[in-house]
Structure 1
Amino acid sequence: MKRAIFLLAVSCGLLFSGQLRAQQSNDLLPSTATLEDCIRYALKHQPILHQSIIDEAITDRTVKSKLADWYPQVSVDANLQHYLELPTSIFGGNPTKVGVANNSAATFTLNQNLFTRDLLLASKTAKEVRTQSQQNTTRSQIDVVSDVSKAYYDVLLTQQQINVLSEDIVRLERSLKDAYNQYQSGVVDKTDYKRATISLNNAKAQKKAALELLNSKQAYLKQLLGYPTSSPDILISSDTTTMVAEVNNSDTSAIPDYHNRIEYKLLKTQESLLEANVRYNKWGYLPTVSAFVNYAFAYQNQDFGKLYNNNYPNSLLGLKLSLPIFQGGKRVHNIKMAELQLERNKWDFESLTSAVNTQYTQAMAAYRSNLNDYMTLKENVAMAQDVYNLLQLQYKEGIKTYLDVLISETELRTAQLSYYNAMYQVLSSKIDLQKALGTLTVNY
C-alpha cells in the first residue's frame, strides 16, 4: 500500500513538473526569435499593455457600478437612545413631559430610481466608455508593435555590423600575415605590415564598440518586450532574406485615410461622449423621480430591561420628485460649456487631418529617400567586393601596392556597414509610413 502511494505521488510530481516546464517554455521566446515572435511576446508581457488591460477592467467595473443604481436599493438604519431628560410639549398652555426614557428603532428602506439624469447618462454612454478604453489599449498596442519592430531591426543591424567587422578582421589578419612574410623576405619594407597592423587594430576596436552597443540595444529590446532582465540575451534570427523582402514590400502610391487611424476613432468616441454630455446637461431641467417603501420597528419602554418587549411598528410608501427651481443660471452655463467642449472637439478633427497628412508626407519622403540610398549602397557593396578581390590578386602578383589593397578593403567595409545601416533606415521609415497610413496591425 505504501509503495503504491509513493509511486502515485512521484507520478503526480512528474506530471506537475512537466506541465510547469511546458508552461514556462510557452512563456519564453524561441531559441532563435523572429520579429513576429518578439511582437507576440511583447503584446502578452509588456507592462504598459497589462496596465491598459487593467484599465479596461476598471472601466467595465465603473460602468457596472453606475448602472447598478437602476436596481432597487435596500438599506437599514438602526438606533438605540436613552433620554437623560424627557422632551417637553405644551398641551393647553401646560408644559408636559412626553415619551419614555428608552427608545430603539430599525428602519428598512427600499428605494427604486425611476428617472435620474445620471443613470440615463450612464445607460446611454456605457458602450462608448467601454469602447474608448479598448481603443486606448489598441493605441498602446500599435505603439508597442512600432517600437519593438524598430528595436528588433536595430539589434539585427548591429549584429550584421559585427559580422561585417569579424569578416574584415579575418581579411586583415590574412593581409597582415602576407605583408609580414613579404617584409621578412625583403620584398617590401615594414610600412605595409605596419599599416596592416593599424587597420587590424582599428577594426578590432570598432568590433568591440559594436559589441558594447549591442548589449545596450539588447537591454532596450528586453524592456520593450517585458522580457526578464536576468535572462540571457535574446537570440534573434540573423537571416536578412526576410528583411530584404520587406524593404521593397510597400505601396508608395497609397493615400492616407485618417479614418483608419486609431486617433480618429478615439476622437469619434470622444465626440459621442461629449454629445451625451450636452444632452445630460439639458436633462437638468427634468425632475428626479423615485419610489420608496419604508418599514420601521419601534421599541419604547421606561424600563431599559423591558425595552424590546413591545414593538410599535409603522410603514409607508410613496413617490419622491425633486426639481431645482432656480440655481442662478447654473444649468444654462453648464449646457453652454458642454456645447463649447463639443465644438472644440470638432477642431481636433481638423488638427488630426492636417497632422496625418504631414506625418504621411514626411514618412513617405523618408521611405523613398532611404530606399534610394539602400538600392545605391547595395550596388556599391557588389562593386567594392569586386574591386577588393581584383586588387588583392594584383597585389599578390606585385602589380599593385599594399596601400591600394588597404584602401579597397576600407571601402568594402564602409560599403557593407553603410548598406546594413541603410537597410535599417528603410525598414524603420516603412514602419513610420504604415503608422501614418493607419495600416500597422496588431494581429499577431
Structure 2
Amino acid sequence: MKRKQITFFILGLLLFHGVYAQEKLTLDIEAAKEYALNFNKTVKNSGLSVVQSQEQLREAIASGLPQVNATTDYSNSLGAEISIQFDENAPASKIPIKPTSNFNLQVGQLIFNGSYIVGIQTAKLYQKMTEKNLEKTEQDIVSQVIESYYLVLVSGESLKILEANMENLREIYKKTEPMVSVGMMEKVELDQLSVQVNSLSNALKSAERQYEMTQNMLRLQLGVSADTELELTEKLGDIMGDTNLNPAVEGSFDIVQNIDYQLMNVQEDMSEKQVDLQKAAYLPTVSGYYNYTYKILKPAFDMSPAHMVGLQMNIPVFSSGERRAKVRQAKIDLETAKNNKAMLEDQLSIQYKQLKFNLLSAIESFETQKKNVEVSREVYKSLKTKYEQGVISSLELTTADNNYLNAESDYLTSMLEVLRAQNELNTLTGIVNN
C-alpha cells in the first residue's frame, strides 16, 4: 500500500510538472527508490521480458489446442479433354475436363504428446525465471539508487565544508594583509596563506565536479534527463542517526531470501524439465483430424467424400542412439546445475560473513573518525585564534587547516563506508527494498 501511494504521488508530480519539462525533482530516499522502480530503463526492459514470457506460455499452450485451417482452390484445364477408348476398333471417347473449385475445412487436435506437456511446464518455469530476474533487477537498481543517494549527500557535505573553509581562509588572508603592511608579520606568512587559498580553490573546483558527477549517476539510475535538477531532502546526519545497525550486524542469514539463490533454484528446475523433455521423445504422438470438403464446381466424375475423420500416431522406433545421447546430455546439465547451486550456497555464506565483518569494521572506523574530527576542529579553532593574535605562524595554521580538512574528509568517507556496508549486507539478505 505504501508503494502504491508513493507511485501515485510521483505520477501526480510528473503530471503537474509535465508542462515544465520536469525541471526539478524533490525526493527523499524512499521516493527515489520508488521513482527508479517506475522509470528506470533497465527495470522497464525486465518488465517487458516478463510480459514476453507470458505470451510464450500462451503460445506453448495454444500449440496443443484445436487448430482450424480453411483453404479454397480453383483449377481450369483450358479446354483439355480426357480420351477413353474401350475397343481398339472403335473411336475414342472424348470427355472434356470441367473447371473445378473446392472449399476445404480441416480441424486438427493433438491428443497426446509428451513433449507438449513438458514444454508447457518449461514455459511456466521460464516465466517464473523472468519474474525473478525482474525482482533481481529491481533489487539491484534500488541498491544502486541508495548508494548513489548517499554519494550525492557525501559529495554535497564535502563541498559545503570546503566552501566554509575557503571563506575562513579568505577572511584570515584579508586580516593578515594589513598586519603585513604595518610590519607586524612577514610577507612570507601572507604568501603561505595565498598558496593555501589557491590549493583549496582547486580542491573546491574538483569537489564541484565530483558533486555533479554523483548527481548524474543518480539521474541515470532514476531514468531522468541530464538537465533535471535534483533536490534531495534527506540529511546525512539524520540518516546516520536513524540507521539501526544492530539487525544487520546481529541478524542471521536465510539463504532462501537471496534472489540469486532463488534464480539458481529455478535454473535447476528447468534443467530437470530438460531431462523430462528428452525422455518424452521416446513417447508416441497421437493426433486426430476432421476434414470437410465442399465442391463449389464439381467435376464430371467425383468419388471423394465430403467428410473425413481420422487418427494418426507417430511412434519413435529407432534413432541410432540419438535420443539416448540427448537424455544423457540433459542429465549432465542437471548435475552441473546442482553443483552450481551447492557452490553458490558456499559463496553466499562466505560473502555474508565478509560483509558483516566489513560493516563492523566500518562502524569502528566511523566512531574513531568522529572523535578525530572533533579534536581536529577544536585544534584548528584554537590555532586560528592564536594566529590572529600573532602567537603562531601561518605554517602552523596551514598545517592545522590541512589536518582538519583531512579529518573531515576521513569522517565523511567512514560514514559513507558504514552506509555502503549496510546496503550491501541488506542486498545480500534480500531486505534492500524494506
- Structure 1: stretches of 5+ with no match in the other structure: 1-17, 304-309
Give the CA deviation at 1:295.
0.5
Post-superposition CA distance 1:355-386 (Å, at most 9, x none): 21332233233322322222111111100111
Confirm or deny: 8 A CA contact 1:105 1:296 kept in the other structure. yes
- 2:4 maps to none
Match of 2:240 in 1: 244
The offset of 1:312, in angstroms, is 7.6
Contact 1:79 1:106 in 2 (8 A): yes
1:58-97 residue pairs with structure 2 within 5 A? 58-83=52-77
- Which residue is equivalent to 1:167? 164
Residue of 278, 281, 286 corresponding to 2:283: 286
Pick one of 334, 339, 346 that aligns with 1:354: 346
* Aligned residues of 1:256 and 1:356 also touching (Cα < 8 A): no
Identity of paired residues, percent? 23
Counterpart check, 1:344 vs 2:340: no
SS in 1 for 2:425: helix
Contact (CA 8 Å) 1:294, 1:317: kept in 2 or not? yes
**What pairs up with 1:270-285 in 2 under 5 angstroms?**
270-285=267-282
Residue 20 to residue 241, structure 1, CA distance change in 2 (3 Å): closer
Question: Which stretch shows the higher mean deviation, 31-40 or 345-354?
Answer: 31-40
1:204 is aligned, of 201, 205, 219, to 201
Output the CA distance in 2 between the equivalents of 1:324 and 1:92.
Answer: 51
Structure 2 residue identity aligned to 1:440: V
Deviation at 1:246, TM superposition (A): 5.6
Flag structure 2 segments of 5+ consecutive residues without an equivalent.
1-11
CA contact (8 A) 1:29 1:41 kept: no
The answer to whether the 8 Å contact 2:219/2:226 transfers is yes
Letter in 2 for 1:141: E
CA drift of 1:25 comes to: 9.1
- Of the three residues 101, 107, 112, the one matched with 1:110 is 107
Aligned to 1:390: 382
CA distances 1:294-347 after superposition (whole Å, capped 9, x unpaired): 1001245679xxxxxx99861111222221221222221222222111111101
CA gap of 1:23–1:236, structure 2 versus 1, over 3 A, is closer
Partner in structure 2 of residue 380 of structure 1: 372
The separation in 1 between residues aligned to 2:64 and 2:21, in whole angstroms, is 43
More divergent stretch after superposition (246-255 vs 66-75): 246-255
- Contact 1:116 1:288 (8 Å CA) reproduced: yes
Could you say which residue in structure 1 is the equivalent of 2:178? 181
- Say if 1:385 and 1:100 are closer, same or farther in 2 by CA, change over 3 A: same
Pair 1:107–1:140, CA change in 2 (3 A): same
TM-score (norm 1): 0.85
**Cα distance in 2 between the residues matched to 1:92 and 1:343:** 77
Q: CA deviation at 1:20?
A: 8.3
For 1:93 and 1:337, how far apart are their aligned partners in 2? 69
Secondary structure of 1:424 counterpart: helix
Query: Aligned with 1:234: secondary structure?
Result: strand
Alignment: residue pair count: 419
Instruction: State how far apart, in whole Å, the 1-side matches of 2:88 and 2:230 are.
Output: 96
Please report how far the alpha carbon of residue 291 of structure 1 lies from its aligned counterpart in structure 2 after TM superposition.
2.0
Give the whole-Å Cα distance in 2 for the aligned partners of 1:80 and 1:157. Answer: 79
Deviations 1:104-150 (A, max 9, x none): 22210111221122321234344322211100101111110111111
Query: For residues 379 and 393 of structure 1, what CA distance do their matches in structure 2 show?
Result: 22
How far is the alpha carbon of 1:46 from its aligned partner? 0.6
| CA deviation string 1:53-95 (max 9, x = no partner) | 1111111011011111333211112222223656789989999
Q: Which residue of 1 aligns with 2:9?
A: none
Matched residue, 1:155? 152
Residue aligning to 2:231: 235
Q: Deviations over 1:227-265 (max 9, x none)?
A: 12232x312236222332366524323343322211111
Q: Does 1:46 align with 2:40?
A: yes
CA contact (8 A) 1:103 1:299 kept: yes
Would the aligned equivalents of 2:365 and 2:414 in 1 still touch at CA under 8 Å? yes
C-alpha change, 1:48 and 1:286, in structure 2 (3 Å) is same
Quickly say closer, same or farther: Cα 1:290–1:409, change in 2 above 3 A. Answer: same
Mapped to 1, the partners of 2:87 and 2:54 lie a distance apart of: 63
Task: Name the aligned partner's letter for residue 214 of structure 2.
Answer: K
User: Residues of 2 paired with 1:100 and 1:81: CA distance?
Assistant: 10
Range 92-101 or range 255-264, more displaced: 92-101
TM-score by length of 2: 0.87
User: The residue matched to 1:235 in structure 2 has which SS?
Assistant: strand
The alpha-carbon distance between structure 1 residues 92 and 217, as it changes in their structure 2 partners (threshold 3 A), is farther
Counterpart-to-counterpart distance in 2, 1:97 and 1:264: 81
Cα 1:55–1:20 shift into 2, 3 Å: closer
Q: C-alpha separation between the residues in 2 aligned to 1:174 and 1:19?
A: 43
3-state SS of paired residue (2:27) = coil
| Counterpart Cα distance in 2 of 1:123 and 1:157 | 51
Amino acid at match of 1:117: G
How far apart, in 2, do the equivalents of 1:399 and 1:19 lie? Answer: 58
Contact 2:115–2:281 under 8 Å retained in 1: no
The Cα of 1:440 is off from its aligned counterpart by: 2.1
2:259 alignment partner, one of 241, 244, 262: 262
1:122 aligns with 2:119: yes
Q: CA RMSD in A?
A: 3.2
Counterpart of 1:338 in structure 2: which amino acid?
Answer: A
Distance 1:20 1:401 in 2: 57
Q: Is the 8 A contact 1:261 1:437 kept in 2?
A: yes
* Residues 299 and 311 in structure 1, CA contact (< 8 A), matched pair in contact too: no
